[in-house]
Amino acid sequence: MIYFGFFAAVLFTHIPTSRLYEQAYAVSSILATSGGDAITPNSPIKFFNIGQLSDVFDWLNTAFVPAVFVTQDQNGNDLASQDYALLGGKSKALGGVLIEVYSLTPVDCGADGSLFQVYPVCHVSEGLPNEYGSYMLILSLNATEALQGLAEWKAQNWIDNTTDKVVISVLTYNGELEGYVVTELTLKFHQGGYITPTASTRPTISIPYGRENSYASDVLWRRKEKRPSRRQMAARLFDLYVVEAAMGVFYIIWAIIVSLLEDYDFQESLWKLADPFAIETEGTEDDIISLNYVIDNLKAIAHYTAALRVVGAIVIALLGLQILNRFRFHPQLNILTRTVANALKQFGAFFVVFIVIFTTFTIIGSMIFGDRAKEFSRLDNSMASCINMLFGEFDFESIKDLQFSVAFYWIYMIVVSIVLMNMMLAIVLDAYEQVSSESYKKSANLTLANRVISICWDVVCEHIEEGMVIVNALKSGEPTCKEE
């Protein structure tokens, strides 16, 4: 238990989840907005409401630029240069806004006859250098100047019908929370003519050991550990070496994160981006490379942090299993682990049947509703919808008006949700009843054994007392009962 507690402290020292969430949510709530699709002067288009090409320019002009290029306070007073581009008053944008545009190359569609005349040009990706373009809006600009730059790029057709994807990257730093956030706003242009907006925020710490965390948990963790003796080594082989191997991987990943954060080139690029006035207004190729380097480095740190979370979760799971394993001496505390172990023996055949039936319904749903309902438009969407049905989270209104929807829904709910899930519950209850019965028998046997030992001990004590009486009588010269 102490081992478990110490490692939990290590985890939250190296992965401060509450801080990471706070800084990521603060930025995403400003940039990746969502809500109703009503557009008014006081309510511009939201990022997640972008659906066509014209929406992209409306969102950039009315929502994105005013949110990022902040040069005045709430009273209309000019801010000091160091307070420019302060999102939400706390998150400082660094360097500039990087906009990457991926385009497709026009080719002949290859259709015959009249169809070729109707639709002669198609677009494909051929990996050519001109299919990629990068643009940078320096954060020393005010909103009016930034809008001017966007208007010039629009006149050059930087985003048009040949565009495949647009990725807008914003790098921010929060000194209060000691962390960076790389926000990527992606607009995917589909061949059907619509646009899918997606957003990702990658929060990372800026200082490995700062105000909010220290070396203490690492030191206590290593001080706590005790090596087993040679005699105990074989018995504790799994307990020690599996956890220690996972811990070794954990600290290797942590060392990589620390080295990336303290990399000289990374720090130099950060210093350059910290002062937007040191960057040319147009954003030279070197400036774009510098910003790209920092963003890529922080993305790598975010990926390693995700790996750190996974390894940490594995270690916690192993320690939790070891704690449960320590309960095997007790007939009551051991019920859970023994129930799960017994149930898993019977689950093999059940899971085969369950997967076959579930996959069948997934494919049927995609075939019947896939062309009209987003929830079943792809196989993975269909699988997610069937899982949501299973747990009562599916919105039936989305397919209610489609043909065969009622039959599909109720057949699935009866077969999978009612029959199969209750069979699974029956297997677990049967295993629990069996384990409980065995535990009761062991408890009864243990009670009986204790009672027998107590009776035997009472008999032994009685004979010892009688013997002591006889010995004392002989020593005093008094006649015993037998001599009389």
pLDDT tens column, 92-138 = 888 889 999 999 988 888 766 666 777 788 888 877 777 888 888 88
| Mean pLDDT, residues 211-232 | 49
pLDDT number for residue 209: 67
0.85 exceeded by pTM? no
pLDDT number for residue 193: 86
Is residue 352 predicted with pLDDT exceeding 70?
A: yes
Total number of domains constituting the chain: 3
Cβ distance 171 to 92 under 8 Å?
Answer: no
| Mean pLDDT, residues 401-415 | 90
Q: Does residue 250 fall inside a structural domain?
A: yes
Q: What is the mean pLDDT of the chain?
A: 80
Q: Does residue 484 fall inside a structural domain?
A: no
Q: Does residue 353 fall inside a structural domain?
A: yes
pLDDT number for residue 229: 46
Torsion angle of the four alpha carbons 439, 444, 447, 453, in this order, in degrees rounded to the nearest 10: -110
Same domain, 63 and 162: yes
pLDDT number for residue 231: 47
Cβ distance 293 to 268 under 8 Å?
Answer: no
Is residue 482 predicted with pLDDT exceeding 50?
A: no
Q: Does residue 472 fall inside a structural domain?
A: no
Q: Does residue 55 fall inside a structural domain?
A: yes
- Higher pLDDT, residue 318 or 57: 57
The residue type at 192:
G
- Higher pLDDT, residue 454 or 346: 346
pLDDT number for residue 224: 46
Q: Which of 144, 201, 155 is nearest to 57 (CA)?
A: 155
Q: Does residue 456 fall inside a structural domain?
A: no
Same domain, 391 and 312: no
* Of 118-127, 218-227, 353-362, 468-477, highest mean pLDDT: 353-362
Is residue 250 predicted with pLDDT exceeding 80?
A: yes
- Higher pLDDT, residue 430 or 166: 166
Cβ distance 185 to 32 under 8 Å?
Answer: yes
Is residue 192 predicted with pLDDT exceeding 60?
A: yes
Same domain, 269 and 151: no
Same domain, 246 and 188: no
- Higher pLDDT, residue 15 or 330: 15
Same domain, 282 and 246: yes
User: For position 344, which CATH number holds?
Assistant: 1.10.287.70
Same domain, 199 and 228: no
Task: Choose the final residue of a domain: 294, 329, 364.
Answer: 329
pLDDT band at residue 449, thresholds of 50, 70 and 90?
A: low
pLDDT number for residue 212: 53
Catalogue the long-range contacts made by 430-433 (C-beta closer than 8 Å, 24 or more residues apart): 430/346, 431/339, 431/340, 431/342, 431/343, 431/346, 432/335, 432/339
Backbone angles phi, psi at 480, to 5 degrees: -85, 180
> In angstroms, how far apart are the furthest CA atoms of the chain?
136
| Mean pLDDT, residues 266-276 | 78
pLDDT band at residue 242, thresholds of 50, 70 and 90?
A: confident
Same domain, 157 and 31: yes
Residue 141 belongs to domain spanning: 2-93+137-205
Same domain, 148 and 54: yes
Is residue 455 predicted with pLDDT exceeding 80?
A: no
105-108 and 121-124: which strand pairing? antiparallel
| Mean pLDDT, residues 439-445 | 55
Is residue 232 predicted with pLDDT exceeding 60?
A: no
Q: Does residue 476 fall inside a structural domain?
A: no
Same domain, 299 and 391: no
Cβ distance 249 to 311 under 8 Å?
Answer: yes
HSE at residue 138, side-chain half, CA atoms within 13 A, is: 20
Q: Return the H-helix or E-strand segment holding 325.
A: helix 285-326
DSSP label at 398? G
Same domain, 350 and 438: yes
Same domain, 267 and 393: no
| Mean pLDDT, residues 53-66 | 91
Q: In this predicted structure, which of 12-16, 62-66, 81-85, 457-461 has the lowest mean pLDDT? A: 457-461
Q: Return the H-helix or E-strand segment holding 111.
A: none
Q: Does residue 478 fall inside a structural domain?
A: no
pLDDT band at residue 483, thresholds of 50, 70 and 90?
A: very low
Same domain, 246 and 394: no
